[in-house]
Amino acid sequence: MVYLTSWDDFVERSVQLFRASPEKTRYAMKYRHSEGKLILKVTDDKECLKFKTDQAQDAKKMEKLNNIFFTLMARGPETDITEVTGKEQTETHPSRKGRGRKQ
């Protein structure tokens, strides 16, 4: 079990671990409210990677990691993940003028 201190290193090694054995790799997260800590864990039963944080701003990073894993699981482990960003989730809606019904 390895606690990584660098977020970028954790993401890189987690993706490598998933690509090496996609059938066995698991991803889990645990939030401890009493301590205010979020723990992310990626394992394939041979290697276990963990990242621990107490920063609220890391929630966006965790969301990005979820998007990366969802993409790898849906499209396959050989998928290029450089296109995966958090911006894919939010669509820009045209601004609405007025408050009445749309006619």
All structural domains of the chain, each given as residue ranges with its CATH number in brackets, are 2-79 (3.30.720.10)
Q: Is the pTM of this model over 0.85?
A: no
Q: What is the pLDDT of residue 102?
A: 66
User: Phi/psi of residue 68, each to 5°?
Assistant: -65, -50
Which residues are paired to 67 by β-bridges?
none
User: Do 28 and 41 meet the contact criterion of CB atoms below 8 Å apart?
Assistant: yes
The ranges of the chain with pLDDT < 50 are: 85-92
Strands (E), the chain: 2-3, 26-32, 37-43, 48-53
